[in-house]
Chain A
């Protein structure tokens, strides 16, 4: 029964969460499930979410890994699939690999402190799933939609509309494919091994779940050591022979409860009888605690040196532009796990996963690019959806006065100057007249810039036929000045005029 409830909730959660990534029509613009993910909450230090999740783990164990974490649920799908093909598939008990788990976590913390957030984002489970959803599942969904739209259009029905399918970034696409292969392979063959060796969230929550109130408990009187639970346990954490369960690795999938024919396993709060078993697990807690302390010390010792050695400077001659609300490249770098929710939500396809624009540490973090569109003046969606505090919430008014980048005009290649023909496409697209047309030779007009007004929307760069205008990013965002109101050349004194 518990298992069925867990499965149903997990399916609902992953369905809604995935829809949040592939939904192009803006049905689900404030995705709640993305905001309660542990990884982004940790990086944004959103205390409420963290306290709730840790408290839930202390009470219920790592239920998070079975019903909230999309990558966990996704792995269960592969595990289910493998059982469809191999009815006799068996797991067994394997001892914990504390060095590996805590080692990986330590490396990640050091990487994060050194500004290599890329590494953290690579294995942070929610973000890894988000990228697969955005890079791999979304195009499939769009393709289906476009097919439907094309069919409807044939019959004169315009209820559905087509959406361009494009490769946003080769890096992100390759990473998503690799994630799918690695995660698919691991979970198809080895159940939740990934969660209990590599996943940093799994390690952290595993630390707390040892002490959880509710646990799987084996009734020694009923158990006949048949190994059924152990064979079913995708976390390899039940030792049926000695009737012990490693609670740091148990993800509360409840598969063992259903597998036990003796009804010897129950999910219940602590009982006084279990003191000896609690003692046993407390030993291992101590060990990992010690390790945790050691790691912390190592990090503390290494961090200052590492920070000095931090990747400096951007290789490209152009300064990349981080999305409005991200405050600075540094803030983005420190918080973004590259889940690509903002990338998938951006209605104008401006946000793209970065390559090396921000340096090594910021690979796959969102960068503004104006190849397929430009940032809507009145849109603040990316700032509203970010679960990690990498893009802080902006109201539309706040966005209007935020300057993530500034306009640069190269008169030497402007078509008005070179061809002596009218253009003005850049000024036409500027919502604040940071580019405006001023009299040039003859009746022609040529662009003139007032960079202080610029909001970095990229309309000018997008439309310029020769790329004579572009936006240069501000590593630390500035404030855009409010345009002055001038009505001097207008008049209300007029007639037909002819």
Chain B
């Protein structure tokens, strides 16, 4: 009996979420402050940028500016945290999201009363080596969250992406489909093809067939997948940044200790901020060439105009 009820609830929740994500206007409304929110928004930043701290401290500072994690998740929510665990690299080589940052975020979500926290990524390198060597599996388990596997096609389900321009459907990981809310935690890096990988590019880890992205126009497909079920919050780990030879980096000489973190519910704004930050570090890359960011704005995912939103800059 219990399970049946659980399944019903799940189906209902799923339907609700689907309906919600269908309306492009809802996306706009949730990411851009409307008039009614204006008074509250005065105190809560739309985008927090923090520098010169350790990952956990920078997260804390950023969330304080954004109004606390409670603004994004509610008690009893089933949460997915989606880091970048793409490569068989140790934390020092910054190929993946910083495990300390994830541990701190998990703790925050637990304190906010999250009923369930799952963490996964569809890795590029062999998944078990990535989960292990990135230090993420250990950090997540230690923090008391669940590490979910994403290396098998059976973990994915085909979904429609009605607001997409090119990628009208994709096989998305069930954890994302079934969760109440998810938090996107990319690591900022150079990328040979997309020039920069950050919050939008990190969505490639929720889908099964990535080759389709590459063959059908990488930038547009990246923007398209972001419309499927927007994450409630994007936290960019820029503690260490692969500045050149990304996204793997060949050695520690490609990595710059940048000690920064950007957080926002607006994916386009957060990638814009991260992109402008990144193009200072690798001056060979022009911000204008990172096409998926304007593509995302065109789809109504958020704004590139950082002047129009409440940006808080914090130095620790």
Seen from chain A, the residues whose Cβ lies within 8 Å of a Cβ on chain B are 26, 150, 156, 158, 161-164, 347-348, 373, 376-379, 415, 419, 421-425, 427-433, 436-437, 442-443, 445, 459, 463-466, 483, 485-487, 489-498
Contact = CB atoms under 8 A, between A and B. Distances in A.
8 contacts: A158-B147, A377-B88, A377-B125, A421-B217, A422-B291, A424-B193, A443-B289, A498-B311
B214 A376 contact: no
A486 B284 CA distance: 14
Interface in B244-291: 244-248, 250-251, 253-254, 256, 258, 260, 272-273, 276-284, 286, 288-289, 291
Shortest beta-carbon contacts, A-B, top 3: A424-B193, A443-B289, A465-B215
A495 B149 CA distance: 38
At the interface, is chain B mostly helix, strand, loop or mixed?
Answer: mixed
Contacts of A429: 124, 248
A189 B69 CA distance: 72
Contacts of B193: 422-425, 427-428, 437, 445
B126 interface: yes
Chain A interface SS verdict (over half): loop
Nearest to A373: B126
Interface string B275-316: 011111111101011010000000000000010000101000
Nearest to A418: B215
Given A424-B191, A436-B192, A483-B250, A158 B149 contact: yes
Number of chain B interface residues as a range: 35 or more
A250 B197 CA distance: 68
B122 interface: no
A164 B192 contact: no
Interface string B101-124: 000000000000000100000001
A490 B289 contact: no
A498 B275 CA distance: 9
B40 interface: no
B88 A378 contact: yes
A424 B289 CA distance: 14
A498 B272 contact: yes
A439 B191 CA distance: 13
A439 to B, nearest CB: 9
Nearest to B127: A161
Contacts of B39: none
B53 to A, nearest CB: 14
Nearest to B307: A498
B139 to A, nearest CB: 16
A178 to B, nearest CB: 31
B295 to A, nearest CB: 11
A489 B245 CA distance: 11
A246 to B, nearest CB: 52
B286 A498 contact: no
A465 B214 CA distance: 6
Given A443-B288, A465-B212, A485-B253, A490 B195 contact: no
B49 interface: yes
Nearest to A424: B193
Contacts of B51: 496
Given A421-B216, A428-B191, A496-B277, 18 more contacts: A156-B116, A156-B146, A158-B146, A162-B151, A415-B215, A422-B194, A424-B191, A424-B192, A425-B214, A427-B193, A433-B245, A436-B245, A443-B291, A463-B214, A464-B211, A485-B253, A490-B254, A495-B280
B195 A161 contact: no
Interface of B: 49, 51, 88, 116, 124-126, 128-129, 146-149, 151-155, 191-195, 210-212, 214-220, 243-248, 250-251, 253-254, 256, 258, 260, 272-273, 276-284, 286, 288-289, 291, 306, 311, 313
Contacts of A486: 244, 253
B211 A465 contact: yes
Given A419-B217, A423-B218, A443-B288, A498 B250 contact: no
B280 A497 contact: yes
Contacts of A425: 193, 210-211, 214
A243 B210 CA distance: 73
Contacts of B279: 497
Given A376-B129, A428-B193, A445-B193, A490 B212 contact: no
Contacts of B291: 422, 443
A490 B282 contact: yes
A305 B148 CA distance: 60
Nearest to B153: A164
A485 B251 contact: yes
Contact of B283 (A421, A489, A495): A489
A376 B126 CA distance: 7
Nearest to B211: A465
Contacts of A466: 215
Contacts of A421: 216-220
B146 A494 contact: no
Contacts of B125: 376-377
Nearest to A487: B253
Contacts of A491: 256, 280-281, 283
Given A428-B247, A437-B193, A490 B218 contact: no
B124 to A, nearest CB: 6
Given A161-B151, A445-B193, A489 B244 contact: yes
Contacts of B216: 421
Contacts of B194: 422, 424
Given A437-B192, A445-B195, A494-B277, A158 B244 contact: no
Interface-centre pick from A156, A161, A427 (highest chain B CB count, 10 A): A161
A498 B277 contact: yes
A490 B129 contact: no
Given A421-B219, A491-B283, A494-B280, A431 B256 contact: no
A311 B147 CA distance: 51
Which of B211, B219, B283 has most A Cβ within 10 Å?
B211
B187 to A, nearest CB: 14
A422 B195 CA distance: 9
Given A378-B88, A496-B313, A424 B218 contact: yes
Contacts of A424: 191-194, 214, 218
B149 A487 contact: no
A266 B2 CA distance: 67
A430 B192 CA distance: 10
A162 B154 CA distance: 9
Contact of B276 (A373, A432, A465, A497): A497
